Amino acid sequence: MVYPLLWMVGASFKPETDIFSQINPIPTTWKFDNYPNGWIATDPPFWRFYINSFIVAILAVVGNVSACSLTAYAFARLQFRFKNIWFAAMIGSIMLPSHALLIPQYVIYFHLGWVNTFLPLFMPKFLATDAFFVFLMVQFIRTIPRSLDEAATIDGCGRIRIFTSIILPLLGPAIAATIIFTFIWTFNDFFSQLIYLSTPTSETVPVALRRFVDSTGSSSYGQLLAMSALSLVPTFVVFLVSQKRLVEGIATTGIRG
């Protein structure tokens, strides 16, 4: 499992002629030009694609955390008509492949004028479309004793105050898992960004990596592998820093604080 990653990092320091001729990930001849050359090889420069990816990923994180937590609170604590039916429909949407919804969604976004903008990539997150995170938070909220809600109600708290003062602080591990997964999945997403982004200035890192491979001519595999290695750094750092929180959020076995 680790060898392809080691090969990619090692090949990013190899000359172009040694990349596919040597199976050993450790270069015999070191070439450090792939990184600075790849950073400025594209138009616009590669740093612009990083900014685009961070903008999309951060907005997606904000949308998922805010919308999914509110939706989960409603399903876990509030009583409303057809709640069980709506919850079952939401869970059923997890089993629906995203490719089955691609054409209807594209038509909707096209008529809204959202195509070739970042809006299709993060705006649905503000409508709690990621049912997995809603389900994760619902299961976590159900482990929080209702006596806390009742005590807050006696003190005069309404539903919104109970959510912001009681539920949200205890929801930390589940929110952390939502942040980590949303950031990693959005930052590494290729298909959706390929469909909705068509201008060079709006491309994200996964889409921009295609620029180094030319099917009709020469390809800069050394620069491609160098930029691919750099594209792993943000997600690797996020996972490394938040590993403990991620495990706690997935466990969701009780009150965490």
* Prediction pTM value: 0.86
Return the CATH number at 169. 1.10.3720.10
Q: 182 near 134, Cβ under 8 Å?
A: no
Identify the CA nearest to 89 among candidates 131, 122, 149, 50: 131
pLDDT in tens, 206-235: 999 888 876 555 668 888 899 999 999 998
Distance CA(59)–CA(72), nearest Å, equals: 20
Residue 24 covered by a domain = no
Residue 210 covered by a domain = no
Report pLDDT for 66.
94
Residue 224 covered by a domain = no
pLDDT in tens, 161-220: 999 998 998 888 888 889 989 999 999 999 999 999 988 889 999 999 888 876 555 668
Neighbours of 136 (CB within 10 A): 22
Residue 6 covered by a domain = no
Report pLDDT for 64.
95
Distance CA(211)–CA(64), nearest Å, equals: 31
Domain range for 136 is 49-202+244-251
Per-position b or e across 30-46, b if 16+ CB within 10 A of its CB? ebeebbeebbebbeeeb
201: its two tokens? 């200035």
Split into its structural domains, the chain has a count of 1
Instruction: Report the percentage of the chain scoring pLDDT > 90.
Output: 42
Residue 38 covered by a domain = no
Instruction: Sort 60 into a burial class: Cβ within 10 Å, 0-12 / 13-18 / 19+.
Output: buried
Answer positive or negative: Cα dihedral of 244, 176, 59, 83.
positive
pLDDT in tens, 107-137: 999 999 999 999 999 999 999 989 999 998 9
Is residue 57 predicted with pLDDT exceeding 70? yes
Residue 213 covered by a domain = no
Distance CA(177)–CA(154), nearest Å, equals: 32
Q: In angstroms, how far is the first alpha carbon of the chain from the final one?
A: 35
Report pLDDT for 172.
85
Q: At residue 47, what are phi and psi to the nearest 5 degrees?
A: -65, -25
Report pLDDT for 86.
93
Report pLDDT for 255.
42
Q: 176 near 242, Cβ under 8 Å?
A: yes
Residue 209 covered by a domain = no
Residue 161 covered by a domain = yes
Report pLDDT for 216.
52
